[in-house]
Amino acid sequence: MMARRSEFLVLVAIVLILIHSSAGAGMSAYEVLRVNGLPSGLLPKGVREFSIGDDGSFEAHLDHPCLAKFENHVLYQTNISGSISFGRISSISGVSAQELFLWFPVKAIVVDDPLSGVIFFDVGDVRKQFPISTFDTPPDCAPTDEEDVLALHRAGGGVGVWRS
Ligand SMILES: *[C@@H]1O[C@H](CO)[C@@H](O)[C@H](O)[C@H]1NC(C)=O
């Protein structure tokens, strides 16, 4: 009986590993977010290309840098990359969030407990909390001036003042 049970557990583990390693193949960026317990609205409308490796590292490409409005403004660069695991995107590059009038790189996005309804953004050196529902659907994203994005970078590590 015990042997049966452990065989069953091994089988379940193998199936889970197979599901996990095939997650990403042929899926859209938004689907990949959802199967990882993350809301699809973390990425804006208009992701043109998306690729993800077995280790969860991904790249998403937009046609141009763009600005989305949630509770805060979020700036997406043309190329966004990072690493996805269940409930977490880490090592993010290409996403900045506005705090007061400054822009800070979003380093990680984390859902610790899906039942809490809360999602955390590690922005600069602080952790910001939002309702997950804020990111239910991919937002419209207004194309922005490449020059502004470059100015943002020159200001160092993605911190800069937004000209509006
Ligand atoms: C975005 O990535 C593509 C393909 O990797 C590259 O050709 C392009 O130069 C990158 N664009 C920017 C703005 O970094």
Q: Which residue has the higher pLDDT, 153 or 56?
A: 56
CA of 11 from ligand 1 middle (Å) equals 42
* Closest of 60, 44, 114, 121 to residue 86, by C-alpha: 114
Q: Which residue has the higher pLDDT, 155 or 131?
A: 131
Q: In CATH, what is the architecture of 2-154? A: Roll (2.30)
Atom of ligand 1 nearest to the CA of 146: 13
Instruction: Collect all residues with Cβ–Cβ distance below 8 Å to 163 and sequence separation of at least 6.
Output: 148, 151
**pLDDT digits over 89-141, tens only?**
999 999 999 887 788 999 999 999 989 999 999 998 899 999 999 999 999 99
Cβ atoms of 87 and 114 closer than 8 Å: yes
Residue 80: C-alpha distances to residues 18, 44, 100, 118 (Å): 27, 11, 23, 23
Rounded CA separation 32/9 (Å)? 26
- In this prediction, residues 23-41 reach a mean pLDDT of 89
Q: What's the mean per-residue pLDDT of the chain?
A: 84
**pLDDT digits over 76-91, tens only?**
999 999 999 999 999 9
**pLDDT digits over 1-14, tens only?**
556 777 766 666 65
Atom of ligand 1 nearest to the CA of 65: 13
pLDDT over 70 percentage in the chain: 76
**Domain extent listing, the chain:** 2-154
Instruction: Collect all residues with Cβ–Cβ distance below 8 Å to 126 and sequence separation of at least 6.
Output: 99
Task: Please give the distance of CA 32 from its chain centroid, rounded to a whole number.
Answer: 10
